[in-house]
A and B are shown apart, each in its own frame.
Chain A
Amino acid sequence: MTLVKEAPVRPAKKRSAAPAAGRRGRRRENLAGYLFMSPWIAGFLLLTAGPMIASLYYAFTSYNLFTPPKWVGLDNFTTMFQDPRWQKSVEVTLKYVVVATPLKLLLALGVALLLAQKRRGQALYRAAFYMPSLIGASVSVGFVWRALFSDDAVVDRTQKVFGVDVGGWIGNPDYVLYSLVALSIWQFGAPMVIFLAGLKQVPQELYEAAEMDGAGPLRRFWNITLPMISPVLFFNVLLESIHAFQVFGSAYVVSDTRCGPADATLVYTCYLYQKGFKEAQMGFASAMAWTLVVAVALVTAVLFWSQKKWVHYEEAAK
C-alpha cells in the first residue's frame, strides 16, 4: 500500500493577503463539502441518531405508544433480567451464536481453500457457492427451509434412511434451532469470499521454502496459511458473530412468526420484536435493544483484546 501524501501546498505568493485568503478559500471548500454531505448528514440525524437517542430515553420509561412515556428509571432493566422469557431468549441466542458462527466459518474456510487452487470452471464454483448469501436474507428462503425440515419432508426422509427418526425438525423444540443454524451455515458465501482474498495474499515463497524443508500439507496449513490469514479470520469472526447476535428473519419465518414451538427459536431480536410490536411495550423493547448493543460491544472488545494472542499482522511476521 502507498502512503497517502498530503496535497501539495500551493505557493502563497500570488496574493498579498495570502494567509487570510487561504483561510477563506478553505472555509468555502469546507462549506461546499458539508453542503454536499448534508443529505447524508440529515439522513443520519433524522433516521439513525435521532431514533437511537429517543430509544435510549424510552429504555428508561414505560411507553405503550399511545400514552406519553412515563419515566420509570431502571425498572425495565430489573424486570428484564428477572423475566424468564428474556432469560430464555438470551440462552437461545447464545446457543445459536456459539454453534452457528464457528461452523459457518469452518465451512467457508474449507471451501475457500479448495477454490483457491487453480482449476477449471473456478468462477462458476465461486458464483455457485456465493449464491445462497445473495438470497439468504429473503423471506422465501425461510419458507423453503420450513418445507425442507418439516415432518416427512426431504431432511426427515433422508434421516430415516440412516435410521434416525426425529419426525421433522420444525415442530420439535429440541431440533428446530439447528435448522436455523443450518440455514446460517448454508449462507457461508460472504466469509468465503473474504477468506479467498486473504489466501491470495499469502506469498508463495513461504510455501516453497516450507516444502523444501519437508513440511507436509497439514503443517504448511497450520504454520503458514493460518497465521498469514489470521487478520482475515479475525475480521470474519468479528463480523459473523455480530451478525449472529442479530439473527431475526430466519427465526421469525421458519417458526411461523411465533419463534417457537415452546420458545425454542425465541432469539433475542424476536422477543424484542414481540415485546415492542405485539405487546406495545416500547420501553421494555428499547431496554432490550440497548442491552444487546452493550453485549455486542463487550463481545467485540473481548475479541479485539484476544487478537493480540492469535492474530499476526505482516509487521509482526517480519
Chain B
Amino acid sequence: MGTSRNVERRTILKAAGATAATLGLAATTGCGGDSGTSADGTVTIRYAWWGGEPRTIAIKKAIALFEKKYPKIKIKPEFTDYEAFWEKFQTQASGGNPPDVFQNAVGFLRKYDKRGVLMDLKAQADAGNLNLKNFRNGVLANGQVDGKQIGIPVGANTMALVIDQKAFKKAGVEAKFGWTWNEYFAALQTIQDKSKIAGDTGYFAIMYLYDLYLRQNGKAFFTDSALGFTEADLTQWWEDGYKRVKSGLVADPKKIEQAKPKSGLSAGLAASEFTWDNFSIRYQGEGDSDYGLAPIPTTDGKNTGQYLGSLMLSAFSGTKHPKEVAQFIDFMVHDPEVGKIMGYDRGILATTEQYDAFKPTDPNNKGVAAYEDEVAKAGILGKITPHPSGADVIEAAFLRIGGEVAQGKTKPADAAKALFSEAKAAFAG
C-alpha cells in the first residue's frame, strides 16, 4: 500500500483529538465511586454486605423503606458472597474508596481499625443521629475496640451443634445441656454403629469451636495480640481429630470436600456439625432429614465457653456524609419494620425494638430463638475474646491446615507448627 507523503494537518488534528478523547476517558474511569450530593441536595451513600439471596432480597426491601422515610438519602447497594466481599473491600479500602456503610464481623474490626478505615460512631451518637441504647444482652460491646464504637450489631448469634434428628433418634441418643465431650463422642460412636454414618463433619478445623474448647479450659484462641494457646495444645487437638477421622467417627474429608457448596450434614455424610446458630436455617432447605440445634459439649459439665457473636454495620471513616450514614445505620438496627423484614437471617435481632417486632412463625427461626433463650437462661454466656488484626487470615489458615491433617497430608505436630508460623506472619501484616 502506498502512503501519502503529505499528511494533512487535519489528519494530525483528528489523531490528536482521538488521543485526547481516549486519555480523557481513561482519566474519568480512573476515579471511581459516585457517592456525593446531587444538585437538589439528595445524598447518595453506598451500602455493601455479603450473604445469600434471601438476605439480599430482605435488605433491598429495608432500603426501600428507608428511602421512603428519608427521601433526601439514596442508598446504593453492593453485595457479593463472603470471600469476594473481603477481597473487594480490601482493594476498595486501600484505594480510599470503600462503601460508606458495610457489614462487618469481629474478625475484621481491629484489622481495619488499625488501618484507619472505620469511623468511631460515638460522635454521631452524641450528635443524636444514632441511638446506642436498647441493645440486648450487652451485645453492643462486640463493636467496641479500644473505647471506640466501630461496629453496631444487627444481630447476635452463638455457636451451636446442628444435628440430624432422625439419625440421633434412630440411634437412641440424646443431646442434652451440659454433656461432656466424652459423652458427645460416645453418642457419635453409637450413631456410627447403628446407622453406619459418621458422627461429625470435621469439628477440629473450625476455629470458633476450638476457641470454645479453649475457653472451657481457661484459655482462648486469641489474646489481644497473639494466640492464646500452645503448639502442644493444638497438636493434641488435631491428633485426636485425626484419630477420629481414621476410625470413621468423623466423616471422610474427601467426601465433605466434594459435597460443597452443600454442607456435609445436609449431604447425609454425618449426623452433626458445629456452626453458628443462625446458619442452621440453611440445612432444612439443603437436606432431606430433620435438623435441630443441640448444645455445645463441655469439659466440666457446665461451661460451654459460649458468647454472643454478631454481625454489625460499620461506617467508613472518610465518608462525606457521616450524618446520613449514622441515620441509615440507626434505621437498620432500630426500626421495627426492618426487624420484621430481616428476621433472624443475621442472628437474633440485636435491639429490643426489632426483637419485639419480629415473632418467628416457621420452625427454623423458632428453633434458633428457643436455642438462644436456653443458652441465655443457662447463664453460661461469656464475653467475646479479642480478635487481633490478622484474625481473618488465621481463621482461613486454621481451616486449611486442619483440612490437611484430616486428609492425612500433614502430621498434627507439623500442622500446629505451620499454623503458628503463619499466625506470626498474619499478626505482623
Tell me, yes or no, whether B186 is within 8 Å of chain A by CB: no
Tell me, yes or no, whether B28 is within 8 Å of chain A by CB: no
Quote the shortest CB–CB distance from A271 to chain B (angstroms). Answer: 12
Whether B2 and A150, one on each chain, are in contact in the complex, defined by CB atoms closer than 8 angstroms, is no
Whether B15 and A38, one on each chain, are in contact in the complex, defined by CB atoms closer than 8 angstroms, is yes
Whether A278 contacts B400 in the complex (CB less than 8 A), given A25-B5, A36-B15, A167-B254, comes out as: no
Whether B429 and A7, one on each chain, are in contact in the complex, defined by CB atoms closer than 8 angstroms, is no
Q: B3: which of A29, A167, A168, A261 is its contact (CB, 8 Å)?
A: A29
Tell me, yes or no, whether A312 is within 8 Å of chain B by CB: no
Tell me, yes or no, whether B361 is within 8 Å of chain A by CB: no
Tell me, yes or no, whether A303 is within 8 Å of chain B by CB: no
B5 surroundings in chain A (CB, below 8 A): 10, 25, 29
Chain A, residue nearest B18 (CB) = A39
Whether A64 and B429, one on each chain, are in contact in the complex, defined by CB atoms closer than 8 angstroms, is yes
Quote the shortest CB–CB distance from A44 to chain B (angstroms). Answer: 12
B393 surroundings in chain A (CB, below 8 A): 278-279
Tell me, yes or no, whether B236 is within 8 Å of chain A by CB: no
Whether B6 and A25, one on each chain, are in contact in the complex, defined by CB atoms closer than 8 angstroms, is yes
Whether A39 contacts B19 in the complex (CB less than 8 A), given A151-B255, A151-B258, comes out as: yes
A84 surroundings in chain B (CB, below 8 A): 418
Of residues 19 through 35 on chain A, the ones whose CB sits less than 8 Å from some CB of chain B are: 25, 28-29, 31-32, 35
A29 to B9, CA, bound (A): 10
Whether A280 contacts B429 in the complex (CB less than 8 A), given A31-B12, A42-B19, A66-B94, comes out as: yes
A150 to B269, CA, bound (A): 14
Chain A, residue nearest B417 (CB) = A84
A280 to B18, CA, bound (A): 38
A46 to B23, CA, bound (A): 10
A32 to B11, CA, bound (A): 8
Whether A171 and B3, one on each chain, are in contact in the complex, defined by CB atoms closer than 8 angstroms, is no
Q: B257: which of A28, A32, A65, A170 is its contact (CB, 8 Å)?
A: A170
Chain B, residue nearest A149 (CB) = B258
Of residues 218 through 253 on chain B, the ones whose CB sits less than 8 Å from some CB of chain A are: 252-253
Chain B, residue nearest A40 (CB) = B22
A171 surroundings in chain B (CB, below 8 A): 253-258
Tell me, yes or no, whether A260 is within 8 Å of chain B by CB: yes
Quote the shortest CB–CB distance from A115 to chain B (angstroms). Answer: 35
Tell me, yes or no, whether B169 is within 8 Å of chain A by CB: no
Whether B258 and A35, one on each chain, are in contact in the complex, defined by CB atoms closer than 8 angstroms, is no
When each residue 228-252 of chain A gets 1 if its CB lies under 8 Å from chain B and 0 otherwise, what string results? 0000000000000000000000000
Tell me, yes or no, whether B90 is within 8 Å of chain A by CB: yes
Whether A42 and B409, one on each chain, are in contact in the complex, defined by CB atoms closer than 8 angstroms, is no
Q: A66: which of B23, B115, B404, B410 is its contact (CB, 8 Å)?
A: B115
Whether A258 and B254, one on each chain, are in contact in the complex, defined by CB atoms closer than 8 angstroms, is no
Tell me, yes or no, whether B7 is within 8 Å of chain A by CB: yes
Whether A42 contacts B257 in the complex (CB less than 8 A), given A7-B3, A32-B15, comes out as: no
Whether A38 contacts B19 in the complex (CB less than 8 A), given A29-B7, A257-B83, A280-B429, comes out as: yes
Whether B12 and A65, one on each chain, are in contact in the complex, defined by CB atoms closer than 8 angstroms, is no
A42 surroundings in chain B (CB, below 8 A): 19, 22-23, 26
A257 to B93, CA, bound (A): 22
A64 surroundings in chain B (CB, below 8 A): 429
Tell me, yes or no, whether A102 is within 8 Å of chain B by CB: no
A140 to B202, CA, bound (A): 29
Quote the shortest CB–CB distance from B37 to chain A (angstroms). Answer: 27
A260 surroundings in chain B (CB, below 8 A): 257, 400, 403
A278 to B3, CA, bound (A): 53
Whether B22 and A35, one on each chain, are in contact in the complex, defined by CB atoms closer than 8 angstroms, is no
Tell me, yes or no, whether A256 is within 8 Å of chain B by CB: yes
A167 to B259, CA, bound (A): 12
A39 to B410, CA, bound (A): 53
Of residues 37 through 55 on chain A, the ones whose CB sits less than 8 Å from some CB of chain B are: 38-39, 42-43, 46
A190 to B320, CA, bound (A): 51
Q: B404: which of A10, A46, A262, A277 is its contact (CB, 8 Å)?
A: A262
Of residues 71 through 95 on chain B, the ones whose CB sits less than 8 Å from some CB of chain A are: 83, 86-87, 90-91, 93-94
A168 to B7, CA, bound (A): 66
Quote the shortest CB–CB distance from A169 to chain B (angstroms). Answer: 9
Whether B2 and A7, one on each chain, are in contact in the complex, defined by CB atoms closer than 8 angstroms, is yes
A28 to B8, CA, bound (A): 9
B252 surroundings in chain A (CB, below 8 A): 167
Tell me, yes or no, whether A133 is within 8 Å of chain B by CB: no
Chain A, residue nearest B410 (CB) = A262
A264 surroundings in chain B (CB, below 8 A): 409
Whether A263 and B255, one on each chain, are in contact in the complex, defined by CB atoms closer than 8 angstroms, is no
Tell me, yes or no, whether B16 is within 8 Å of chain A by CB: yes
A259 to B26, CA, bound (A): 35
Whether A35 contacts B254 in the complex (CB less than 8 A), given A173-B409, A262-B403, A278-B396, comes out as: no
B90 surroundings in chain A (CB, below 8 A): 65, 277, 280
Whether B258 and A65, one on each chain, are in contact in the complex, defined by CB atoms closer than 8 angstroms, is no
Tell me, yes or no, whether B407 is within 8 Å of chain A by CB: yes
Whether A35 contacts B19 in the complex (CB less than 8 A), given A25-B5, A151-B254, comes out as: yes
A168 to B255, CA, bound (A): 8
Which of B87, B116, B426 has the most chain A CB atoms closer than 10 A to its own CB?
B87
A66 to B3, CA, bound (A): 52
Chain B, residue nearest A65 (CB) = B94
When each residue 166-204 of chain A gets 1 if its CB lies under 8 Å from chain B and 0 otherwise, what string results? 011011110000000000000000000000000000000
Quote the shortest CB–CB distance from B216 to chain A (angstroms). Answer: 29
A173 surroundings in chain B (CB, below 8 A): 407, 409
Tell me, yes or no, whether A281 is within 8 Å of chain B by CB: yes
Which of A7, A42, A67, A172 has the most chain B CB atoms closer than 10 A to its own CB?
A172
Whether A277 and B19, one on each chain, are in contact in the complex, defined by CB atoms closer than 8 angstroms, is no
Whether A168 and B254, one on each chain, are in contact in the complex, defined by CB atoms closer than 8 angstroms, is yes
A279 surroundings in chain B (CB, below 8 A): 393, 426, 429
B23 surroundings in chain A (CB, below 8 A): 39, 42
A258 to B22, CA, bound (A): 38
A65 to B97, CA, bound (A): 13
Which of B11, B15, B23 has the most chain A CB atoms closer than 10 A to its own CB?
B15
Tell me, yes or no, whether B69 is within 8 Å of chain A by CB: no
A-B contact pairs, 9 of them (CB 8 A): A32-B7, A35-B19, A42-B26, A66-B116, A171-B254, A262-B407, A264-B409, A277-B90, A280-B94
- Contacts from A to B (Cβ < 8 Å): 7, 10, 25, 28-29, 31-32, 35-36, 38-39, 42-43, 46, 64-67, 84, 150-151, 167-168, 170-173, 256-258, 260-264, 277-281
- Contacts from B to A (Cβ < 8 Å): 2-3, 5-7, 11-12, 15-16, 18-19, 22-23, 26, 83, 86-87, 90-91, 93-94, 115-117, 252-261, 393, 396, 400, 403-404, 407, 409-410, 418, 425-426, 429
* Shortest Cβ-Cβ A-B pairs, 7 listed: A171-B257, A65-B94, A171-B254, A35-B15, A262-B409, A171-B258, A39-B22
